[in-house]
A = this chain, B = another copy of it.
Amino acid sequence: MMQCPLKSKRWERRKEARPQELLAAALDLFVERGFAATRLDDVAARAGVSKGTLYLYFANKEELFKAVIRENMLPALDEAEDIVKQHKGDSASLFEEIMLGWWERIGLTKVSGISKLIMAESGNFPEVARFYYEEVTSRVHGMIVSMLEHGIARGEFRPIDTKEAMRVVVAPMVMLMMWNQSFGACSMEPISPQSYLRTYLDIVLHGLLREPAVSSSPRK
């Protein structure tokens, strides 16, 4: 079918680049449509290869998905953990740096869609959920808990239940990402990150700090 001189393209070997192209296409579609609703046909097509090719690089849909997460989430997470470990200054600044960095590195990119996706499909694909929880969620949680504990230990934050507080302060960040991937994507009142983040830091730091005067006037 379709005998054309460009057919030779078909045999172009791109072993090096293929996995990256497939992962990029998969990220796009998983985030757009969810895990179950993404057809591997479409992933392959978007990467410009046939469906069979996909199976040369990934054993199945789940492995492809795990690879997407590994590729996109883990580097940013490594960085964030480094920042926390090496931080010297006050806790409020660290908190701000981490949250704003998160937004830069994850929130602004398609990767932010993964949170929604995981939450959405965890019921039907428990193995995927477990993988994400172990590789990503638990590390994020640990990192934030340690920030809060550090702040309390230094007398900067009020003494609170750090485990619960971690969940409370994480929630608005996750929701920001999820909202813009769901309703926002359908152009229903998308959140403007700038003022949202400012207000978030204002309220949360005001809520955490022992001396709220510090952040009583929004920064920037």
Contacts and interface: CB of A to CB of B under 8 A. Distances in A.
Contacts of A205: 207
A71 to B, nearest CB: 21
A213 B182 CA distance: 38
Interface string A181-220: 1110110110100011011101111111000100010100
A59 interface: no
Contacts of A83: none
Contact of A120 (B119, B185, B186): B119
Contacts of A179: 119, 167
A173 to B, nearest CB: 8
A123 interface: yes
Interface in A148-169: 158, 160-161, 164-165, 167-169
A7 to B, nearest CB: 20
Interface string A107-119: 0000000001111
B208 A203 contact: yes
Interface stretch (A13-21, A31-39, A47-55, A87-95): A31-39
A133 B183 contact: yes
Interface residues of A, number: 60
Nearest to A138: B189
A137 to B, nearest CB: 7
A187 B211 CA distance: 38
A214 to B, nearest CB: 13
Contacts of A195: 161, 164
Interface of A: 32-34, 36-37, 116-124, 126, 129-130, 133, 137-138, 141, 158, 160-161, 164-165, 167-172, 174-176, 178-179, 181-183, 185-186, 188-189, 191, 195-196, 198-200, 202-208, 212, 216, 218
Given A36-B36, A164-B200, 15 more contacts: A34-B120, A34-B121, A37-B123, A118-B182, A119-B183, A122-B186, A129-B183, A133-B183, A133-B189, A137-B183, A138-B189, A160-B218, A167-B196, A172-B172, A202-B207
8 tightest A-B CB contacts, nearest first: A120-B120, A207-B207, A171-B175, A164-B199, A203-B207, A171-B172, A122-B182, A206-B207
